Amino acid sequence: MAKKTDSPKLRRLVLDVLKPHSPTLPEFAMKLSSMRGIEGVNVTLIEIDKDTETIKVTIDGELDYGTIRSAIEEWGGVVHSVDEVVAGSKVVKEAVPVEYRFKLRTHEGKG
């Protein structure tokens, strides 16, 4: 059995977030990036309507999901889903891209 020296850490989170137009995307990214343990933030606009924006937020660092979620909620946002989580001492790359796996499942049993 492996010996644990440190508690496991979240290294990356990819979140689907619904937020109001304010704060703006640059302000939102800067607020997140200034939080303790966060080393980098990528915010991508997915959809926009009259009152809200749907964004994909990728966060790297030594992360506390509860603190991040609470901050997003304080800024008027809601985490719709957690789409990716990386934990441990390093980031592991996926062997097969997610899009490819979905294509494989779609074509199963078709001849």
CATH of the domain at 53: 3.30.70.1340
Evaluate whether residue 34 is within a structural domain: yes
Query: pLDDT at residue 30 above 90?
Result: yes
| Domains contained in the chain, number | 1
Evaluate whether residue 43 is within a structural domain: yes
Instruction: Taking residues 62-79, report their average pLDDT.
Output: 97
pLDDT on residue 92: 76
* Domain extent for 33: 10-90
Per-residue model confidence as pLDDT tens digits over 75-93: 999 999 999 999 988 777 7
Per-residue model confidence as pLDDT tens digits over 41-63: 999 999 999 999 999 999 999 99
Evaluate whether residue 97 is within a structural domain: no
**Structure pTM?**
0.78
Query: pLDDT at residue 110 above 80?
Result: no
Burial class (CB in 10 A: 0-12, 13-18, 19+), 55: buried
Evaluate whether residue 110 is within a structural domain: no
Evaluate whether residue 103 is within a structural domain: no
